[in-house]
Structure 1
Amino acid sequence: MQISSNIWHDIRHIDVLLFDQFSNHCLANTVEPLRAANALAGRDLYQWQFCTLDGAPVASSSGMQVAPHVSLADATGDTLCVMPSYGIRALDQWTVVRALRRVADRYGVIAGFDTGPWLLARAGLLDGRRATIHWDELTAFAEAFPDIDVQRERFVLDGPRITCSGAMAAFDLVTHLIGMAHGPLLATDVAHLFMSTDRTPAQGPAVGRPGRMVARALNVMQAHLEQPVSIPDIARRIGCTQKTLESRMREAMQATPQAVYHRLRLNRAYQLVIETDQPVSEIAGRCGYDNASAMTRAFRTAFHATPTQVRRRQ
């Protein structure tokens, strides 16, 4: 099924529906990339809130208590992420199914994370669609819901329905969605922030996950932020021509090597601005700029604020 990219641009306010025994890891891998995207973009691309069926607190599988912002009935987002984990059979009951059916028409996109696809399927929200689930439940899921095209994938996007197999896949999914909505360069920025760009994509050409040649070039760039090297030199170091590197980089990142390198240096500057008390002049030198004024101009263009303004927000 062809998916309109407009759907992913419309994901802005996300309601995360939690249940007792949810996975901390899955939750963090969902919302932390969104937080990072906001920070790197310099504006709120995404908002999110936590909700439960009745508005009461829940506890994760490791005992972390979460007090929700609202009950599901009072949630007002455009996207619903259903996130149970352990004990899915106990949640497979009419009260849960009815609650999901009641709010289904309210959301443009509905996603099931970890074992969440089981609840979406029981509510009839995945009928006739492709879907996945945590792989421990895959066989039982296929047997219980024969009208669903069950696939052993890390995540599946089928129209306004998203299913994701677990915590590690959640990070891949969210960075993929960020890339679809806001470009692969931002998705790669987010992945670099969490030191994950060297992982091999498990599902096709995920947006923001470069191939090996581009990944090697990114590694060279990251290693030479303070004293930038030329693009021809980067190509030589990874064993290809400059033309090949430029072609691969455009294909994977929709940007030139020069633009990607420039963005990586600015990302490093942003981190130093918010994480240290170093003067802007020193940060400029550590990120390959000749002077603070040049870095500040580039910083303001990228993040819609000066380094000083960003620090004042912290």
Structure 2
Amino acid sequence: MPIWINQRDGIQEIAVLLFNRFSNYCLANTVEPMRAANDALGRTAYRWRLLSLDGGPVTSSSGMQLMPDGKLSDMPGGDALFILPSYAYRTYGTPTCLDALRAAARRFETLAGLDAGSWLLAEAGLLIGYSATIHFDEFERFSERFPDVTAVRERWIVDRDRMSAGGATTAFELMQHLIASTHGAAISIEIAGLFMQGDDSERANAMQTPPGDRRVQRALTVMRRHLETPLTVAALARAAGCRQRDLEVRFRRAFGATPRTVYKQLRMAEALRLVRDGELSVSEIALRCGYADPSAFTRAFRVTHGAPPRDHRP
């Protein structure tokens, strides 16, 4: 069930709470997918602020000093608060910090522990009755220290209004999942492609899918190669090496959508890119995205992107 549902004016309001020795890598993997989603959508869908407990500067594990946008207690609230302590996290569980997190839980719709952030959420009593994960090095200590939390060895977990990811790479995967849950798989796949070089197969592999689900990845690769001449779902299933029903189940598990829906999202994402390039006519773009009828293409484009192609021209 998607948790990104409390949008204000269509914008997700996100805060990231940083502590000294935070991971630059984990922070970038949290913020950059939102920046890329804004670029891909052509509007501000995500807005974020970087915070510290006292509003003062914090220094990353690599020695980079960062001046936050403000103090946690001054932030009125938002859709999600990401907690990113990284190294020395166990020393941060002071009464002042834990009280601040408990107060924040009343202002933010969702709380997320990144890297070792789950430890602080658990210390504050904010994960009781929830499933959560943490960096694999700390998993045993975490599960023993907090018996009221269901510790699960997963890369990332979304459990109602709590989220957790065990490291920097998994933070990126979690952000992909959340963006896809709101804006569709095509945007998430496009974002994955921005952050890695390689062929279509590698780009498809970058998209978070159920572990070992190569059939979904194969189907995505085939879709991207056949935007101009769309294949049937049956043909996609054959190319992926499974039955049509099986492929539909796998896509619903991976993206919460059917293969047909994801395929259309990919075609409309490519259409938006071509429209913004401004080099091709609408008729030519329609053909490249699998529409023989420009009028049908324009209608589909308007439904997907909220306005006709001419409104997205540079």
Asked if residue 224 in structure 1 is aligned to residue 220 in structure 2, the reply is: no
Offset of residue 167 of structure 1: 1.2
Write the distance in 2 (CA, Å) between the matches of 1:249 and 1:101: 37
Superposed counterparts of 1:190-269, under 5 Å: 190-195=188-193, 197-198=204-205, 211-240=213-242, 245=247, 249=251, 253=255, 255-269=257-271
Check 1:143–1:75 CA distance in 2 against 1; reply closer, same or farther (3 A cut).
Answer: same
Q: Distance in 2 between matches of 1:260 and 1:187?
A: 6
The 3 A distance-change label for structure 1 pair 9 and 102 is closer
1:284-295 to 2 correspondences below 5 Å = 284-290=286-292, 295=297
1:70-85 matches, within 5 Å, as 70-76=70-76, 77-85=78-86
TM-score (norm 2): 0.77
Q: Under a length normalisation based on structure 1, what TM-score does the superposition of the two structures give?
A: 0.77
188 and 232 in structure 1: CA distance in 2 versus 1, 3 angstrom threshold: same
When structure 1 is superposed on structure 2, of 242-251 and 54-63 the one drifting more is: 242-251
Residue of structure 2 equivalent to 1:162: 163
Q: Distance in 2 between matches of 1:259 and 1:157?
A: 23
Counterparts of 2:238 and 2:129, CA distance in 1: 50
Mapping 1:1-314, distance limit 5 Å? 5=1, 7-10=3-6, 12-40=12-40, 44-76=44-76, 77-180=78-181, 182=182, 186-195=184-193, 197-198=204-205, 211-240=213-242, 245=247, 249=251, 253=255, 255-274=257-276, 276=277, 278-281=279-282, 283-290=285-292, 295-312=297-314
* Distance apart, 1:113 and its partner CA: 0.8
C-alpha separation between the residues in 2 aligned to 1:245 and 1:19? 43
Q: Deviations over 1:124-177 (max 9, x none)?
A: 222343322111122232343344332222223334222221111112223333
Shift of 1:45: 4.3
The alpha-carbon distance between structure 1 residues 188 and 279, as it changes in their structure 2 partners (threshold 3 A), is closer
The answer (yes or no) to whether the contact 2:20–2:58 under 8 Å persists in 1 is yes
State which drifts further: 60-69 or 129-138: 60-69
Distance verdict in 2 for CA 1:303–1:40, change over 3 Å:
farther
Distance 1:219 1:163 in 2: 29
What amino acid sits opposite 1:99 in the alignment?
Answer: A
Q: Deviations over 1:79-136 (max 9, x none)?
A: 2111121222342333322322333322232111111112222222223433221111
CA contact (8 A) 1:41 1:302 kept: no
CA apart distance, 1:72: 0.6
Deviations 1:186-215 (A, max 9, x none): 13531343135425968xx5xxx9943333
Number of matched residues?
A: 299
Deviations 1:25-73 (A, max 9, x none): 2223223333444555565543322211122233332344433222111
For residues 10-29 of structure 1, the C-alpha deviation after alignment (integer angstroms, 9 at most, x for no partner) is 36322111122222222232
Amino acid at match of 2:117: G
Q: Distance in 2 between matches of 1:311 and 1:143?
A: 57
Deviation, 1:231, is: 4.7
When structure 1 is superposed on structure 2, of 46-55 and 33-42 the one drifting more is 33-42
- Does the CA contact (< 8 Å) of 2:176 and 2:207 recur in 1? no
Higher relative contact order (CA 8 A, sep 6+): 1
Unaligned residue ranges in structure 1 (runs of 5+): none
**Secondary structure at 1:78's aligned position in 2?**
strand
